[in-house]
Amino acid sequence: MTQNNYKTQSEKYDFISGQHGGYYRYDFVDHAYLYNLYFPPEAIFTNFKDQIHDLVLNYPVAQDALAGLIGKIINQPAERIVVGNGAAELIKIVSGHISNKLIVSVPSFNEYANAAPLGKVVEFPLEFSSFQIDVNKFAMEAIRVKADVAVVVTPNNPTSMLISKPDLIRLAKKLETNNCMLIIDESFLDFAENHDLISMEQEIEKHQNVTIFKSMSKAYGICGLRIGYMLTANSQFAETVRDGVHIWNINGFAEEFLRLLPAYKQEFIASCKQVRTDRDGLYKKLRSIDGMTVFKPDANFIFCRLPDYAQSAPEITKKLFIEHNIYIKECAGKTQPDSDRYLRIASRTETENCNLVEALIQVMNLTNRQA
């Protein structure tokens, strides 16, 4: 099905809003999905083209070699690493098959809860309306419900807010005495300031009950390659997850990307810096909208509450797509109070961000309201 099958833009929206990708085929501006627009550099694509026959015709390497490639990138021993077909594969293994009772702070990335069997997940609400986590209360609830896996995302999705490193360490220590594994999802951490100082990766050997999950799709702009990994010093947990992945779970293009990546470290750092610059500009523009509550972002997207005078988030999102061919994410499907008043907006280029804000003002009828 292509865009030519739609009689109206409304029909096109109804189709797109039910999809989980392939957006590039349908000719609209995507402020919904969250990835780095400035990476990978063109040289990596040229390398793919030059080696396309070998990459297509041959089996890729298996888990031990893949873990070694990731280990070289993050400076960690291979035995601590499990590589997934995107972080989603690892989430499915842990939530769906390993955990007996999982607790996750919400609103958050829905897949942790969605992948768990019925009755095996507890959703812990963040403080409303700051959307901050109280790690003491979270730990107490995890212990009360006898959770063996606890999940936090930092920066969180959809709120784009960090959890401080001291809070994470305190949470890990509280859970350790109750045999609860703390999964810290750092998929968006490269977009935050001082990444190396706030990541738990370098603390991993100190905490046997901590596992880091990371989707590489977001920071490295490679959604189609499907690479994610987990890092833990707990060899037993690593082995249990490793047993759940298929022998060839990563394709040849993804493997080649991991081999090439170390040569482009400076380009990656520069790309994340540009993402932060664009994001900060979008944050300022959104804050200028009358009545809009805009939360200060640490990731490459912005979480905001619509003004009371505006229509609901689902209505605004559809109107923006129909009238301006711009797609953003409404949060009505998230577990939080007033979820139909909240939007998650991915930052793109400065020009696209400016166009988005102007279009958003128009669909909220703010120009008429101020006249």
Q: Cβ distance 295 to 302 under 8 Å? A: yes
Residue-by-residue DSSP string for 92-155: HHIIIII-SSEEEEESS-THHHHTSPTTSEEEEEPPTTT----HHHHHHHHHHTT-SEEEEESS
Whole-number Å distance between alpha carbons of 362 and 319: 10
Q: Cβ distance 82 to 90 under 8 Å? A: yes
pTM over 0.75: yes
Residue 170, class by beta-carbon neighbours within 10 Å (0-12 exposed, 13-18 middle, 19+ buried)?
Answer: middle
Whole-number Å distance between alpha carbons of 182 and 165: 13
Express each pLDDT in 323-335 by its tens digit. 999 999 999 999 9
- 204 confidence band (pLDDT: 50, 70, 90): very high
pLDDT of 367 > 70? The answer is no
Q: What pLDDT shows up at residue 370?
A: 46
pLDDT of 101 > 70? The answer is yes
Whole-number Å distance between alpha carbons of 194 and 60: 35
Mean pLDDT of 27-54: 98
Q: What pLDDT shows up at residue 366?
A: 59
The phi, psi pair for 291, rounded to 5°, reads: 85, -5
Q: Cβ distance 211 to 182 under 8 Å? A: yes
Strand 149-153 to strand 293-294: parallel, antiparallel, or no bridges (unpaired)? Answer: unpaired
Express each pLDDT in 182-196 by its tens digit. 999 999 999 999 888
Name the percent of the chain lying above pLDDT 70: 97
Average pLDDT, the chain: 95
The DSSP symbol for 201 reads G
Q: What pLDDT shows up at residue 196?
A: 83
Express each pLDDT in 55-83 by its tens digit. 999 999 999 999 999 999 999 999 999 99
Q: Which SS3 state, helix, strand or coil, does residue 289 take? A: coil
Residue 13 makes CB contacts below 8 A (sequence gap 6+) with: 318, 321, 322
- 5 confidence band (pLDDT: 50, 70, 90): confident
- 371 confidence band (pLDDT: 50, 70, 90): very low
Express each pLDDT in 105-134 by its tens digit. 999 999 999 999 999 999 999 999 999 999
Helix (H) or strand (E) holding 344: strand 342-346
pLDDT of 1 > 60? The answer is no
Q: What pLDDT shows up at residue 369?
A: 53
Express each pLDDT in 250-271 by its tens digit. 999 999 999 999 999 999 999 9
Q: Which domains occur in the chain, in start order?
A: 3-40+266-364 (3.90.1150.10), 59-263 (3.40.640.10)
Q: Which amino acid is at 135?
A: V
Whole-number Å distance between alpha carbons of 48 and 225: 12
